[in-house]
Structure 1
Amino acid sequence: MGKFENKVVVVTGGTSGIGLATAKAFAAEGASVFITGRRQEALDQAVKTLGGRVAGVRADVSKLADIDRLYDAVQQRHPQIDILFANAGGGGFAPLGAIDEKHFDETFATNVKGVLFTVQKALPLLRDGGSVVLTGSVTGSTGTPAFSVYSATKAAVRNFARNWILDLKERHIRVNVVSPGVTDTAGLNELFGGGAQADGVKAGMVADIPAGRVGQPDDVAQAVLFLASDAASFVNGAELFVDGGMTQI
């Protein structure tokens, strides 16, 4: 039996990158996994790739009705959720002086509002003693040029965990944050301009990573599985950096 046999896991933003790798890892350990994505084609492809233990629900977490639809779909098949990985998020570059309202609203709607209501609306289904993992970022603790809005959203996510462990202590629901560093995903490649340009940017960042390489989605997935597992039963409100050491120097 796998470590998560008979567990029900929800992974938002599960069609690519860290979310997809984490859904795959949970399913490999025996869990029944629900993933979300905003684009039906990508969602269908992810479900096909991941196989029979995974179901997909099209949802944009910035829209509360979509979150309701997600949990309605879960409830039709299972009485409770054991683990929630609130992972969906994104952002782009905009230096101070060029930040517009659309950039601010869209980034906060997904990364802050979306995380808040993804967790809050899960509470009736989330079992007592369950686990919530939020996706933060090293940028929530460090400065990055032209990335202040995204960084602020991830700082907010980190502080959600600090407060929610108090709100949920009577139910013994743990809330932790996994904060990736430079991770080789399609989203990061797009952010860095794609193709050879993105490869060059990532290669240039390796010098600042003591581990000597960029991260892979499975590096983060394994950290999420640890935080969600019984092995982390006394880990609560913590931020686990998965960044090869770059934030520690």
Structure 2
Amino acid sequence: MGKIIAITGAGEGLGKALAKRLAADGDTVILLGRTLSKLEAVLGEIGDGHMAAACDVGNPDSVRAAFAAVAERFPKIDVLINNAAIYQPFDLGEAADETIMAMTMTNFVGPIFVAREALPLLRGGGHLINVSSESVHLRLAMLWLYEGTKAGLEMMSYMWGKELAAEGVKVSVVQAGAMMDPTNPKGPDWPGDTGMRFHMANARQGNDMRQMPISTYKSVTDVFRAVIDMPADVHLNFVGVGGNPLPRQSNS
């Protein structure tokens, strides 16, 4: 029997890949994201029986409205994947007000709003999965706010796991590494020369971004499938996922 799974940030990237994978496996997927047209496009790919709702995770009114709509159709959900995030590097001196607020509200405060509104639907057997990043321990240059919000999310997840156990809700963290879509390999859509400065700043710290292993969204969905499908007597509190360095090919 398939599960009912809500995913934030489901219009693109990992969220979209998860929606397609889980729907193909027979689960019912609830797509949440800021841009309804993107969600509807994903719905068109995964078929009937699923749901899309516009949801700006950093806006509490938007989150409340989205989950009110979800509750009308699904009085119970099995899994919530807090995936939505803004990933953008910058230095402290250039950090604009709107960028700081957008990233903090989406990456850190947003999961709180979403988990709070989803909690009544998760009680008694639900599973909350928060998506973090390997950059928390890599500590890459220019990603201090992204890393800080993800580190905070990991700490909250740990505490939520203790708090919600009595309500029958499991909490897991999947700390994912760099990922890409082979069909769209252009990489992050960063402004101006940000990408070049990011690579140079990390090179000065000894991090050669060109040599860092990278996985595909499709492969990482296998990890989420395993986390979701753990036996009832097994719980994964934390899972770290990184790219696997490929062996160098010999020219001989």
TM-score, length-scaled by structure 1: 0.84
Matched residue, 1:42: 38
**Deviation sequence 1:121-142 (CA, Å, 0-9, x none):** 1111113121111110011222
- Cα offset, 1:243, TM superposition: 1.0
CA offsets 1:50-87 (integer angstroms, 9 cap, x no match):
21132111111111111112211211112201110011
Structure 2 alignment gaps of length 5 or more: 200-207, 246-252
Q: Is the 8 Å Cα contact of residues 140 and 158 (structure 1) preserved in structure 2?
A: no
Counterpart of 1:122 in 2: which secondary structure?
helix
Deviations 1:184-236 (A, max 9, x none): 15698134679xx89xx7xx746333xxxx21112222211211223475224
Q: What amino acid is the match of 1:241?
A: G
SS at match of 2:215: coil
Match of 1:23 in 2: 19
Q: In the alignment, is residue 207 of structure 1 matched against residue 224 of structure 2?
A: no
Cα 1:119–1:112 shift into 2, 3 Å: same
Runs of 4+ deviating beyond 6 Å: none
Name the SS for the 2:92 alignment partner.
Answer: coil
Residue 29 of structure 1: CA displacement? Answer: 2.0
**Offset of 1:168 from its aligned partner?**
0.5
Aligned length: 231
1:243 counterpart residue number = 242
Q: Distance in 1 between matches of 2:13 and 2:186?
A: 9
Give the deviation of 1:7 after TM superposition: 1.9
**Candidates 99, 123, 127, aligned match of 1:127:** 123
2:222 matched to which residue of 1? 222
Aligned 8 A contact 1:11 1:36 in 2: yes
Q: Could you say what secondary structure the match of 1:244 adopts? A: coil
Aligned to 1:79: 75
Query: 1:245 deviation in Å?
Result: 5.3
Equivalent of residue 189 in structure 1, options 187, 190, 193: 187
Q: 80, 84, 89: which is aligned to 2:85?
A: 89
Distance in 2 between residues matched to 1:188 and 1:228, nearest whole Å: 30
Unaligned runs of 5+ in 1: none
Q: Mark the CA change 1:98 to 1:121 in structure 2 (over 3 Å): closer, same or farther.
A: same
What pairs up with 1:53-202 in 2 under 5 angstroms?
53-185=49-181, 189-191=187-189
CA contact (8 A) 1:135 1:177 kept: yes
SS in 2 for 1:119: helix
Provide Cα deviations, 1:79-128, integer angstroms capped at 9, x if missing partner. Answer: 20111001111131111322233222111100111011111111111131
Confirm or deny: 8 A CA contact 2:24 2:46 kept in the other structure.
no
SS at match of 2:5: strand
Letter in 2 for 1:101: D
Secondary structure at 2:16's aligned position in 1?
A: helix
Query: Would the aligned equivalents of 2:170 and 2:235 in 1 still touch at CA under 8 Å?
Result: yes
